[in-house]
Amino acid sequence: MDIPTTTHSLAGVRVVDAASLAAGPLVATWLGELGAEVVKIEQPDGGDALRQWGAQKDGVGLMWKSLGRNKKSVTLNLRTERGREILRDLARGADVLIMNMRPSTMTRWGIDYASMSAVNSGLVMLHVTGFGAGGPKSDHPGFGTLGEAMSGFAHMTGEPDGPPTLPSFMLGDGVAALNATYAVLAALYHRDVHGAPGQLIDINLIEPLARLLEQPVLTYDQFGTIPTRSGNRWDISAPRNTYRTKDDRWLAMSGSAPSIAMRALRAVGRADLTTDPRFAEAQQRLRHAAEIDAVIAEWIADHTLDEAMSVFEEAQVAAAPVYDAEQLLADPQLRARNVYRTIPDPQLGELTVQGPVPVLTATPGRIDHLGPELGAHTAEVLGEHLGLTDADLQALRAEGVI
């Protein structure tokens, strides 16, 4: 039976991305890959701070180029009442509005959920903040780093005798954005399938990451103990670590499933340990994790990465090389799946970026273009969506609204 499909999963959905930095804009990026029309609202004086994040080439931010893909950039000074008026007009015809201002600022400016839903009852508003609505910190500014610290992530990451360790990438923002994206899709489904109005989605940068780190809370609740850092080892899996090879490269291994752990022992020539009660039974193996780890590390240290991987792949052991960016791009599995794509760009010539994730067979994600120049679509969007004329736009520019 043939199932009719549209070209893109979210064709016909209009998103107004009035957030800045990472979490909120990431949600808009992913919705845009799925086919939504994304109007990116930016302040005229510099735009989204994402444009200045990370590596720059000739003054062009590479991270912005990827995260700004498929978006239409519209400059709009929300510090002016006229700018906020235009935002309300855009929200009137939108399905999703993404914001990340402080709650008090949104209320004072009349662009909070109550105000926006009054002009569009079907609007789904996503509000991303550092700490979430309610509570003594609800109006405090917050960034992913604070979420990574307060979620418990930093406490659990690093070597046992080292300091709490923060990630060198936007983990807190990314995990929050993933949670927020499925929340937006759920809210749209609730609206469109059940005939309900839109709703407000309240998400912060602590709770989504804390949800993935729930094990320490469960342990504390039941035993009163606080887990500590264990480097690359994990107290629910053995062997599990990164191991240095003979040719000074690194290999990672996971023995989370008992059958995989037994395969690893046999692969390194220690089949005798598979019948030893200290290593054959899962809980006992965890109690003797340091010993089994030493066995694996010693064997790997005597082999090159290619030699070790050949043995482990033959034995179907869960092992993988630790890649840098060059190796990641060269991996034959990822190349076969067309994970990284070179996209033409008027500013950079071209840029290699990762394609949409996950892969949908009937309605695959898209990359129509990379992040545009600031305000590149202001005239187009305000003209087509709101009917503003060239004279209107000229006046708005003179007033500093766009």
Q: Known catalytic residues? A: 173
Residue 230 CB coordination number (10 Å):
16
Angle of CA points 122, 126, 131, to nearest 5°? 145
Residue owning tokens 């994304």 = 38
3-state DSSP assignment of residue 128: strand
Cβ–Cβ under 8 Å, residues 100 and 24:
yes
Task: Return the residue matching tokens 């010539």.
Answer: 349
234: which strand partners? 237
Give the H/E segment covering residue 29.
helix 23-33
Please provide the DSSP assignment of 326-368 as one string: HHHHH-HHHHHTT-EEEEEETTTEEEEEE--SS--SSS-----
Helix (H, G, I), strand (E, B), or coil: what is residue 235? Answer: coil
Q: Which amino acid is at 276?
A: D
- Report whether 278 contacts 285 (CB < 8 A): yes
Beta strands 56-57 and 60-61: pairing type? antiparallel
Paired with 250 in beta bridges are 244
∠ Cα 90 95 100 (to 5°)? 70
Is the distance from CB of 32 to CB of 98 less than 8 angstroms? no
Task: Return the DSSP state at 272.
Answer: G
In angstroms, the CA 109 to CA 103 distance is 10
Q: How many CA atoms lie within 13 A of 193 on its CB side?
A: 6
